[in-house]
Amino acid sequence: MDGNYTPRDTAVATAPAASFADGAVVGIGALPHRDAAAAADFSITEFGIATIPTLPKRSPAEAMVAQAVVGLPGVSLGPYGSIAIDPARVDDTTAIRTDLAQDAFVGMRTFLDRAGRFGLDGAPVKWQFVGPVTLGVALHRAGLDTDLAFDVALRAVRSHLAALADAIAGALPNSPQMMFLDEPWLTDLMRPDFPVPPDRAIDLMSSGMAVLGNDTVVGLHCCADVDLATLLATGPRAISIPVGEALLDWAGYLARFLDDGGVIAWGVIPSDGPLPASSERYWRALSDLWCSLVQRGCDPVKLRRQSLVSPTCGLGSHSVPVALRIAELTAEVGKRVGDQADATRFALGA
């Protein structure tokens, strides 16, 4: 499906991204820590871009769907992270309050407290939140009518995103923010039995991202193969996708996205399966992919300069030592990308 995409006319399409480039390392999703202070320190010291953690092993309330149902009338959280719904109390007009004092946001609160001690203000910060499509699927599966489930999901995501971005800006007023909507259900979007059609899903994600405006680099994360045309049609400023040969089918879309200033966070180190012994294989896979993308029209300079690297997905299912090793391997790939970006900058006299 080589070709071009047309981004939606949203504010996020012009968000600045200079702080998020040149192979910097970011985290994706959850961490396995039960100690919130240790998780915050890990996020600040092990990733080149400090990444606000979620900690579902510490509490099921920090699972991504569980976080999003905080403050939703008629929706309650079970002891193991399941959600229960009283349809009679759910509507799409009641104001949704984001209570940061809730157990669901301990990881974020602790990170913001520790960030001050590390002198992080002014350094870029990345965070993530569940997207409205994935939240809508969860609410629908829990018993809500389809239209109501996705309407409530969008309102919840927009309300929480605005409140969390304000909290981060209050604690770190000089730090550029990058936020990824986490949309694992996008892998099933093209199935005929998916609850909403692709156009509706695009509108949901685009509307969710637009609440943050120009001051935040807003993007989409999916840790499996996805219809990239749909992903890009939402108008993200950044995307987070795993490295794989399937991306060659979307070379034209990626070329246009980079030409428009988009940032790609490449999932280079797998977060499932056996722990890799070294990063060499994964650096080679990324490098080979880039060579093939260049042959299909991608700008080699933009590929290097407008790239981040990350694990393919969250590290919450691992032990802390394994998560640390994956972060170290990711950093090794990031250093090689950064070295190439520096060489490119030097060659161009920038």
- Separation of first and last alpha carbons in the chain: 34
Q: Is 47 exposed, middle or buried (0-12, 13-18, 19+ CB in 10 A)?
A: buried
Pairing of strands 216-221, 238-242: parallel
**Nearest-angstrom CA–CA distance, 288 and 295:** 11
Which residue type sits at 55? Answer: L
Is the distance from CB of 235 to CB of 209 less than 8 angstroms?
Answer: yes
Q: What is the pLDDT of residue 224?
A: 83
Q: What is the pLDDT of residue 323?
A: 96
Look up the pTM and report it: 0.91
Q: What is the pLDDT of residue 338?
A: 86
Q: Phi and psi of 345, rounded to 5°?
A: -60, -40
Residues 224-253: tens digit of each pLDDT: 888 999 999 999 999 999 999 999 999 999
Which 8-state DSSP code applies to residue 298?
-
**In the chain, at which residue ranges do the beta strands (DSSP E only) sit?**
24-25, 50-51, 75-77, 83-85, 125-130, 177-182, 216-221, 238-242, 263-269, 307-311
Strand, coil or helix: 20: coil
52: left (phi over 0), alpha (psi -120 to 50) or beta: beta
Which 8-state DSSP code applies to residue 56?
T
Residues near 192 by Cβ (< 8 Å), separated by ≥ 6?
none
Residues near 284 by Cβ (< 8 Å), separated by ≥ 6?
none
Q: What is the pLDDT of residue 17?
A: 63
**H or E element in which residue 68 lies:** helix 64-68
Nearest to 227 by CA among 290, 183, 266, 195: 183
Q: What is the pLDDT of residue 274?
A: 85
**Nearest-angstrom CA–CA distance, 55 and 140:** 25
Distances (CA, A) of 187 to 4, 182, 191, 230: 21, 12, 9, 11
pLDDT less than 70: residues of the chain: 1-17, 341-350
Nearest to 336 by CA among 291, 286, 293, 289: 286
Cα 153 to chain centroid, rounded: 17
Which residue type sits at 258? Answer: L
Is the distance from CB of 186 to CB of 177 less than 8 angstroms?
Answer: no
Strand, coil or helix: 182: strand
Q: What is the pLDDT of residue 4?
A: 36
Nearest to 26 by CA among 221, 307, 310, 264: 310
Pairing of strands 83-85, 75-77: antiparallel
DSSP string for residues in 209-252 = HHTTGGGEEEEEE-SS---HHHHHHT--SEEEEE--GGGGGGHH
Q: What is the pLDDT of residue 343?
A: 67
**Nearest-angstrom CA–CA distance, 100 and 327:** 28
Tokens of 294: 């260049």
Q: What is the pLDDT of residue 9?
A: 39
Q: Taking the alpha carbons of 112, 65, 225, 276 in that order, is the dihedral positive or negative?
A: positive
Strand partners of residue 267? 242, 310
